[in-house]
Structure 1
Amino acid sequence: MSKTVPAPPSGLRALLPDLSPWRASRDFRRLWMSGLVTNFGSFLTFVAVPVQMKELTGSAAAVGAIGAVELVPLVVFGLYGGALADAWDKRRLIVWTELGMGLLSAALLVNALLPDPAVWPLYVIAALSSALVSVQRPALDSLLPRIVAHEHLPAAASLNALRWQVGGIAGPALAGVVVAYAGLGWAYAVDLATFAVSLALVVGLASSPASHEAAKPSLRSIAEGARYAWNRKELLGTYAIDLAAMFLAMPLAVLPFLADDLDAEWSLGLMYAAIPAGALLVSLTSGWTSRVHRHGRMVAVAAVGWGLAVAAAGIVGDVWLVLLFLALGGCCDMVSGIFRSAMWNQTIPDELRGRLAGIELLSYSVGPQLGQVRAGGMAAWAGVRTSVWSGGLLCAAGVGLLALCLPKLMTYDARTDEHAVRLRERRAAAAEPV
């Protein structure tokens, strides 16, 4: 007797997020809650650190340099962290790195409470935090395909993004108030408390040992992952487009100065929250993403939209229009992120997933870090608003050029791509009873 296939949702239900991963996987629920809690606190620090640097130095270049000191550990530990994620128990890596990041948050709190807070600890802690995040993220990303069914991976990407956005909106919005009225110490103290809660959640994850096919961590294994990525031009395209978009158009480093330029210091928290607010709107209406199959095209189109929205935010002179265009940019960035994640998770084999997650980490993290340096340097040279609008226009042009040079990305179809079909069949075979 044949099974009855449920009809796809229609109307408003077709837009609502797909909760299948949440319902089906206990470990996904734990990771989701852990990420929600820790992201909320981390976004408080994300706002507090540049504000503290601005107060201590008064320099846009000094704020942008935070991204520079994070760059080297991000590159080194991102690649090696990917190899560790393939070769070690992923749960253990996640637990120990979460503990380390909590200790760094405590160090920020101690420095902020000193009678004369120092500048150098902000740079040192930023570098160490970058190293720990670079080790943890490949483990988190490569764990996802193990705890979520293959067909639920796009939905899981949307739900994970939703988690990030809730923290990204509430954290910066609250940070602006906390920093202004309670002080930097309270922002760091709340971040420390969220790490304690998150650690309690990830300790309860099931162990996730290395695949028996995974290579031990070494330069050779890292090179093997890099060769695989290079030979997959559609994956290479997602990395290149995200790097270009973030390097050329990420405005976060200069937002404290943009708020001053618009004579709207009160809007800083809202500016930081606007991009994740736009992304949240996409996540809350992300049901449509499961019905899109040409993921590469969506990545490119959305990245162009991100650049144009940021350019508009730099051109307009009204603070409310700035907030609107930053939110539109967040919408576009979220669409691009959902389809990048779906391509990665649905086509990369388990034994390479950690190393490729390390490369992915570089693609979506190195760009913003370099983008902070670019934005801060350009703002110091040509002015804050010029830094923002010129970067946005360069992003749109650069992504358009990359799309023309990457035909495999633009023709990618999740239904017929050989790598997606092979991985789908492998997971289906593994799920069959013996």
Structure 2
Amino acid sequence: MRGLRERMAGLVADTRPLRNEHFRRLWLANIITVVGAQLTVVAVPAQIYDVTGSSAYVGLTGLFGLVPLIVFGLWGGALADVFDRRTMLMITTSGLIGTSALFWLQAAMGNTNVWLLLGLFAVQQAFFAVNQPTRAAILPRLLTPDLLPAANSLSMTVFQAGAIGGPLVAGVLIPILGYQWLYLVDTITLFATLGAVVRLPRLPVEGPTTSPGLRSVLEGFRYLGGHPVLLMSFVVDLIAMIFGMPRALFPEIAHVSFGGPDEGGLVFALLFAAIPTGAVLGGVFSGWVSRVDRQGYAVIVCILVWGAAMTGFGVAVALADYRGMLLVALLMLVIGGAADMASAAFRTSMLQSAAADSVRGRLQGVFVVVVAGGPRIADVVHGTSAAMVGTAAAAAGGGVLVVVGTVVAAIAVPSFVRYRLSRTTTIAR
């Protein structure tokens, strides 16, 4: 019985990073903040549709969100490699509080100008794009390399849990409280993160710095090009997301394949919730990630599991007329979500531990761009493919391409597969 308990304890999330007071405060604050953030994620498109009655205007949030993420994600990474990162986090968190407060103000005043909404959204995404690479770049200064996978898993679990619960809560509260109260909750909860950031130690960049302009951004790309292991962490993620993320097919699959109503419904909601549910489950049972030294090999295995799961999802959709296929399809998405969470934890940890501190911010900026851009490209690829070959073939075929592309990438750059964790670093106090 004792042996069984020990094995189960080894499966549950590794909480050792929480012993570090700085990480613990940031993580606990993130639990509070993610609730408000997800309320805003739902409230913005809902208010835009309420104001305009047009899905086309809602679709513009993709453009107004992606462009700042790309521009300020790359530039923000350069800023994080020059200035004290604690200071950068204080500025960007304050900026997020300010934009959230402005969302509240415009909603409370009954704003009907969609361009004001979209403009505020773009500014908010710009602050977010600078904040995220800075936040990721500080973890190797707070924790030893062997704790980074566990720390990233804990952080991703909170985010994914918010991605499930936030939309459900917002959908219930909007008709009752209105948009302004959701924005106000977001504004108030962000102060928890600001309080955690203020209590961080000073975190100046270790190593040489340059001015945070275009030249600095290009130097980051040159550094990336000279380190195949780091470059491959982006390549395999793009392969997984572009070919394997079928979310653009969910509305049609829910309606046509599984008989849901054309305006959404339960099946539609379950399909969208399945991948983040898998990510949360993967995070809860992520105790094993801290014991893995061969992180490159682990990433390849995780992405192969993701590709196989998306292939299985497509097959289940093709066999939708048979009883129980909806459960099979959802199970495949859950498995894929768990694999993707583990892959992301390892890839983030590799970027944090294998890169020099003087370029960590810029590489994390590229990471933000890839994470944001890959699924959006996937939406176009899958939507176009489904129009030609159908949703089932597009989903299953995409999964197969993930497997093939990942195997080719692993063969082409064997150093990535051989990459092992180094367990030494300097910790900030």
With normalisation by structure 2, the TM-score equals 0.82
Partner of 2:372: 365
Q: CA deviation at 1:170?
A: 2.2
2:165 counterpart of 1:170: yes
Structure 2: how far apart are the matches of 1:78 and 1:127? 13
Cα distance in structure 2, aligned partners of 1:177 and 1:101: 24
Could you tell me how far apart the structure 1 residues matched to 2:246 and 2:104 are? Answer: 26
Residue deviations 1:226-273, cap 9 Å, x none? 222111111111101112322333345665666555225145554443
The correspondence for 1:221, drawn from 216, 219, 224, is: 216
Instruction: After TM superposition, give the deviation of residue 89 of structure 1 in Å.
Output: 1.4
Encode CA deviations 1:307-362: one digit per residue, 9 max, x unaligned. 44345445534655444333222111111112112212221122222222222222
CA distance in 2, matches of 1:386, 1:66: 29
Change in Cα spacing, 1:293 to 1:164, as seen in structure 2 (3 Å) is: same
> Structure 1 residue aligned with 2:408, among 386, 389, 401?
401
Q: Does 1:33 align with 2:28?
A: yes
Distance 1:155 1:192 in 2: 29
Aligned to 1:4: none
Q: Is the 8 A contact 2:22 2:196 kept in 1?
A: no
Shift of 1:377: 6.5
Secondary structure of the equivalent of 1:211?
coil
67-76 or 47-56, larger mean C-alpha shift:
47-56
Equivalents in 2 of 1:271, 1:194: separation in Å? 29
- The DSSP-based 3-state class of the residue aligned with 1:88 is coil
| Partners of 1:36 and 1:166 within 8 A in 2 | no
Kept in 1, the 8 Å contact 2:145–2:349? The answer is: no
Question: Hey, what's the Cα distance between the residues in 1 that align with 2:60 and 2:365?
Answer: 23
State the partner residue of 2:296. 296
The question of whether the paired residues in 2 share the 8 Å contact of 1:172 and 1:270 is answered with: no
Query: Alignment partner of 1:66: what SS?
Result: helix
Q: Which amino acid aligns with 1:427?
A: T
Task: Judge which range, 213-222 or 275-284, deviates more.
Answer: 213-222
**Aligned pair in 2 of structure 1 residues 324, 157: CA closer, same or farther (>3 Å)?**
same
Match of 1:3 in 2: none
How high is the sequence identity, in percent, across the aligned residues? 37
1:226-241 aligned within 5 A: 226-241=221-236
- CA deviations on 1:121-160 (whole Å, 9 max, x unpaired) are 4543343233212211121011101111233222222222
Letter in 2 for 1:202: V
* Distance in 2 separating the partners of 1:47 and 1:335: 26
1:341 aligns with 2:348: yes
8 A contact 2:13–2:154 mirrored in 1: yes
Secondary structure of 1:18's match?
Answer: coil
Alpha-carbon distance change, 53 to 329 in structure 1, aligned in 2, over 3 angstroms: farther
User: Matched residue of 1:87: which SS?
Assistant: coil
The answer as to whether partners of 2:36 and 2:189 remain within 8 angstroms in 1 is yes
Residues 35, 163 of structure 1: 8 Å contact kept: yes
Change (3 A) 1:181 1:249: farther
The CA deviation string for residues 411-432 of structure 1, in whole angstroms up to 9 with x for no partner, is 2233xxxxx4xxx55639x99x
Q: Secondary structure at the match of 2:426?
A: helix
Quote the residue 1:105 is aligned against.
Answer: 100
Offset of residue 65 of structure 1 = 4.6
Match of 1:16 among 4, 12, 22: 12
How many pairs does the alignment contain? Answer: 413
Seen in structure 2, the aligned counterparts of structure 1 residues 125 and 304 have a Cα distance that, compared at 3 Å, is farther
Structure-2 change in CA distance of 1:258 and 1:218 (3 Å): same
Query: Aligned letter for 2:218?
Result: A
Aligned counterparts, 1:173-184, within 5 A: 173-179=168-174, 183-184=178-179
Letter in structure 2 aligned against 1:161: M
Relative distance call for 1:390 and 1:173 in structure 2 (3 A) is farther
Are residues 44 and 311 of structure 1, via their aligned partners in 2, closer, same or farther at CA, if it must alter by over 3 Å?
Answer: farther
Q: Does 1:351 align with 2:358?
A: yes
Distance (whole Å) between structure 2 residues aligned to residue 95 and residue 250 of structure 1: 34
Q: 2:332 aligns with which of 325, 337, 341?
A: 325
Alignment counterpart, residue 202 of structure 1, candidates 197, 212, 221: 197
Corresponding residue for residue 426 of structure 2: 427
User: Unaligned stretches of 5+ in structure 2?
Assistant: none
2:417 alignment partner in structure 1: 410
SS of alignment partner, residue 279 of structure 2:
helix
For residue 81 of structure 2, give the secondary structure of its aligned residue in structure 1.
helix
One-letter amino acid of the counterpart of residue 414, structure 2: P
Q: Counterpart of 2:274 in structure 1: which amino acid? A: A
CA distance in 2, matches of 1:392, 1:287: 27
Runs (5+) with no aligned partner, structure 1? 1-6, 415-419
Residues 380 and 72 of structure 1: is their aligned pair in 2 closer, same or farther, counting only changes over 3 Å?
farther
Kindly provide the CA deviation profile for residues 28-80 of structure 1, in whole angstroms up to 9, marking residues without a partner as x: 11211222222222223333444555664554x66555333333322221221
In the superposition, relative to structure 1, how do residues 340 and 378 fare at CA in structure 2: closer, same or farther (>3 Å)?
Answer: same
Whichever residue aligns with residue 85 of structure 2, its letter is: K
1:341/1:149 CA distance change after superposition, 3 Å? same
1:137 partnered with 2:136: no
